[in-house]
């Protein structure tokens, strides 16, 4: 008979005593993680309309690899990860619905893999509950099927921290080592600066804490970040005047990074404002904001429970990573978007779920049914609020995207058809829908000159978009004017000649 070899569980390597406290030795029931991920994908397909057009930033990312329209100007803060992510669909199809379905399925698979990276560190029921908490946030459901980077930074962050702890506890877990490198690369591939903030606590432990020093783990972590951010750094020297200049330009585009408390901005965005810039207006109703305050409190409670159970690092490390990656978005920029904090939410979900499971399962006599009832009522109210905000956000976003599509249709009727060029108000998304190139002479997307636009207007359809009452640029004041929906369009002579 073949000899049976018993591989040690996580943390059983005698050469490297586990610093993470309690380890759950028999992670099973992973079908629950698959069920959560599958339900998340299905919810996206039902609640977020697959036919919802692409947003402004999405058109920039998709245009880099699509054949539907010329590539839009790629500003300094952006990274090419999203463009490569959507390339398998966008490179041959202009169907937004197909792209949404593809991303919804991919986002569900990503959530499953990220949760599975924590196997052995928490019971499966805690991981499934954490996935459900994160997946039912309106911001998660809304951005899961979108061509945006923040959801994928969140997935990479969760997988990286989980694999890091497993690799530290078990020297024989090569899959965990690979997981650290690949998830770090995914984060840096999407947003290099976010990847740095997420991994700072990991670097601190590996470099500064004697019990956590493992050269191989340090090398894998660095290699992952370099592999993911390498193209972004090279592009900085090729197209942006160097790495320091690209970082400086990125800071200017974001309003100048510096001390700025943005808690109020983030709270205003919770009502469904996908971009709060400038972030003015009334705060959402208290029930809409309640979860935002409750999540970190419950997560800290989970960490306290874990410390008392002598497995504190399992919860404290994701808390530290969440605090670091959320810091620039809460204290360093002067505007907000709900998607910015997705990595924070997914990292807080693990200790928060641990706390909730503890509240409803811990021995407590008569208090246990009361706690279970309160948790159930709280989660039911949470789901109702998230659904309401999601429906409101999807509707408003769909209407704005349909406006761009209608404008593109009217431009085609006026002779502005590919190959063509647009500049002016909201020129980037409208140009994408029209199939034109977008150009600007001022601002963050400046990529041409007035003379170049005038010359182009003599040989191909060029349009200048303005809001009603706004004067067109001097060079376009003799061009033929048309009212297009809520905008004014000034058409160059080449288009007028038809």
Render each residue's pLDDT in the chain as its tens digit; 498 residues. 444 444 433 443 434 444 444 444 444 568 999 999 999 999 999 999 888 999 999 999 999 999 889 999 999 999 999 999 999 999 999 999 999 999 999 999 999 999 999 999 999 999 999 999 999 999 999 999 999 999 999 999 999 999 999 999 888 889 999 999 999 999 999 999 999 999 999 999 999 999 999 999 999 999 999 999 999 999 999 999 999 999 999 998 887 788 888 899 999 999 999 998 888 888 999 999 999 999 999 999 999 999 988 888 899 999 999 999 999 999 999 899 999 999 999 999 999 999 999 998 877 656 778 888 889 999 999 999 999 999 999 999 999 999 999 999 999 999 999 999 999 999 999 999 999 999 999 988 899 999 999 999 999 999 999 999 899 999 999 999 999 999 999 999 876 555
**Is 393 among the domain residues?**
no
Asked if residue 404 and residue 358 are part of one domain, the reply reads: no
Asked if residue 306 and residue 157 are part of one domain, the reply reads: yes
The last residue of a domain, from among 362, 388, 414: 362
Nearest to 496, CA basis, from 475, 477, 481 = 481
Asked if residue 166 and residue 238 are part of one domain, the reply reads: yes
Cα–Cα–Cα angle for 434, 435, 439, nearest 5°?
90
3-state secondary structure of 288: helix
What does DSSP say about strands 462-466 and 480-484: parallel, antiparallel, or unpaired?
unpaired
**Is 235 among the domain residues?**
yes
**Is 5 among the domain residues?**
no
Instruction: Provide the pLDDT for residue 497.
Output: 56
Asked if residue 246 and residue 297 are part of one domain, the reply reads: yes
Asked if residue 427 and residue 278 are part of one domain, the reply reads: no
3-state secondary structure of 254: coil
Asked if residue 480 and residue 333 are part of one domain, the reply reads: no
Asked if residue 342 and residue 202 are part of one domain, the reply reads: yes
Asked if residue 291 and residue 199 are part of one domain, the reply reads: yes
Instruction: Write out 270-330 in H/E/C secondary structure.
Output: CCCCCCECCCCCCCCCHHHHHHHHHHHHHHHHHHHHHHHCCCHHHHHHHHHHHHHHHHHHH
What does DSSP say about strands 421-424 and 437-438: parallel, antiparallel, or unpaired?
parallel
What does the alpha-carbon distance between residue 151 and residue 488 come to, in Å, rounded to a whole number?
36
The last residue of a domain, from among 337, 362, 387: 362
Q: Which regions of 109-252 does DSSP assign to beta strands (E)?
A: none
List 287's β-bridge partners, or say none: none
Asked if residue 357 and residue 409 are part of one domain, the reply reads: no
What does the alpha-carbon distance between residue 252 and residue 414 come to, in Å, rounded to a whole number?
37
Nearest to 343, CA basis, from 329, 325, 327 = 325
**Is 325 among the domain residues?**
yes
Encode burial over 171-189: b for 16+ CB neighbours within 10 A, e otherwise.
bebeebbebbbbbbbbbbb
Enumerate residues 6+ apart whose C-beta is below 8 A from 257: 251, 328, 332, 333
Q: Residue 64 corresponds to which tokens in the numbers above?
A: 């880099």
Q: Are 441 and 459 in contact (CB under 8 A)?
A: no
CA torsion sign, 16 to 20 to 26 to 29?
negative
Nearest 10 degrees: Cα torsion 223, 226, 229, 230: -130
The residue assigned the tokens 């409670």 is 301
What does the alpha-carbon distance between residue 24 and residue 16 come to, in Å, rounded to a whole number?
17
Instruction: Provide the pLDDT for residue 365.
Output: 57
Q: Residue 468 corresponds to which tokens in the numbers above?
A: 């009603």
**Is 14 among the domain residues?**
no
What does the alpha-carbon distance between residue 424 and residue 417 come to, in Å, rounded to a whole number?
17
The residue assigned the tokens 């965990």 is 176
What does the alpha-carbon distance between residue 464 and residue 482 come to, in Å, rounded to a whole number?
10
The last residue of a domain, from among 362, 386, 421: 362
Instruction: Provide the pLDDT for residue 15.
Output: 41
The verdict on whether omega for the bond into residue 124 sits within 30 degrees of 0, i.e. cis, is: no
Instruction: Provide the pLDDT for residue 489.
Output: 96
| Domain span holding position 462 | 399-496
The number of beta carbons lying within 10 Å of the beta carbon of residue 478 is: 11
**Is 75 among the domain residues?**
yes
**Is 390 among the domain residues?**
no
Enumerate residues 6+ apart whose C-beta is below 8 A from 389: 138, 270, 271, 272, 288
Question: How many domains would you assign to the chain?
Answer: 2
Q: Are 76 and 249 in contact (CB under 8 A)?
A: yes
Instruction: Provide the pLDDT for residue 496.
Output: 59
Asked if residue 281 and residue 179 are part of one domain, the reply reads: yes
What does the alpha-carbon distance between residue 74 and residue 61 come to, in Å, rounded to a whole number?
8
Instruction: Provide the pLDDT for residue 364.
Output: 65
Nearest to 51, CA basis, from 486, 394, 386 = 394
Asked if residue 414 and residue 298 are part of one domain, the reply reads: no
Asked if residue 354 and residue 406 are part of one domain, the reply reads: no
Nearest 10 degrees: Cα torsion 408, 413, 414, 418: 60
Helix intervals (H) in 25-172: 31-47, 56-63, 81-90, 96-116, 124-135, 138-143, 150-169
**Is 24 among the domain residues?**
no
List 462's β-bridge partners, or say none: 421
Instruction: Provide the pLDDT for residue 67.
Output: 84
């Amino acid at each position: 008979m073949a000899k049976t070899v018993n591989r040690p569980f996580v943390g059983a390597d005698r050469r490297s005593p586990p610093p993470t406290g309690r380890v759950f030795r028999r992670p099973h029931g992973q079908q629950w993680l698959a069920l959560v991920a599958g339900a998340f994908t299905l919810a996206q397909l039902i609640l977020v309309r697959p036919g919802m057009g692409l947003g402004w930033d999405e058109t920039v990312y998709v245009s880099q690899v699509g054949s539907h329209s010329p590539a839009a100007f790629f500003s300094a803060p952006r990274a090419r990860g999203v463009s490569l992510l959507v390339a398998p669909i966008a490179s041959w199809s202009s169907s937004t619905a197909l792209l949404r379905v593809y991303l919804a399925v991919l986002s569900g698979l990503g959530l499953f893999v990220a949760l599975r990276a924590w196997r052995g560190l928490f019971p499966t029921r805690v991981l499934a509950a954490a996935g459900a908490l994160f997946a039912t946030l309106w911001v998660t459901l809304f951005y899961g099927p979108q061509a945006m980077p923040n959801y994928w930074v969140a997935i990479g962050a969760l997988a990286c921290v989980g694999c890091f702890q497993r690799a530290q506890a078990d020297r024989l877990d090569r899959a965990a080592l690979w997981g650290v490198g690949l998830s770090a690369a995914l984060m840096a591939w999407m947003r290099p600066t976010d990847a740095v903030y997420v991994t700072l606590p990991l670097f601190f432990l590996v470099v500064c804490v004697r019990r956590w020093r493992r050269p191989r783990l340090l090398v894998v972590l660095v290699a992952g970040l370099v592999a993911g951010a390498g193209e972004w750094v090279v592009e900085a020297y090729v197209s942006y005047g160097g790495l320091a200049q690209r970082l400086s330009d990125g800071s200017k585009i974001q309003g100048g990074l510096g001390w700025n408390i943005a808690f109020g901005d983030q709270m205003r965005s919770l009502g469904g404002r996908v971009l709060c810039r400038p972030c003015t207006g009334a705060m959402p109703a208290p029930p809409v904001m309640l979860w935002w305050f409750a999540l970190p409190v419950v997560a800290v409670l989970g960490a306290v429970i874990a410390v008392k159970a002598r497995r504190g690092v399992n919860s404290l490390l994701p808390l530290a990573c969440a605090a670091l990656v959320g810091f620039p978005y809460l204290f360093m920029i002067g505007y907000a978007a709900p998607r910015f904090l997705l990595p924070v939410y997914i990292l807080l979900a693990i200790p928060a779920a641990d706390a909730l499971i503890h509240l409803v399962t811990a021995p407590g006599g008569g208090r246990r049914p009361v706690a279970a009832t309160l948790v159930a009522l709280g989660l039911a109210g949470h789901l109702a609020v998230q659904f309401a905000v999601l429906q409101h956000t999807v509707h408003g976003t769909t209407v704005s995207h349909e406006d761009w599509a209608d404008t593109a249709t009217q431009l085609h009727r006026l002779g502005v058809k590919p190959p063509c060029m647009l500049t002016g108000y909201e020129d980037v998304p409208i140009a994408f829908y029209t199939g034109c190139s977008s150009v600007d002479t001022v601002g963050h997307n400046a990529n041409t000159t007035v003379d170049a636009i005038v010359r182009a207007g003599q040989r191909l359809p060029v349009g200048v978009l303005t809001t009603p009452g706004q004067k067109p640029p001097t060079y376009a004041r003799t061009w033929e004017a048309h009212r297009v929906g809520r905008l004014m369009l000034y058409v160059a002579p080449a288009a007028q000649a038809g």
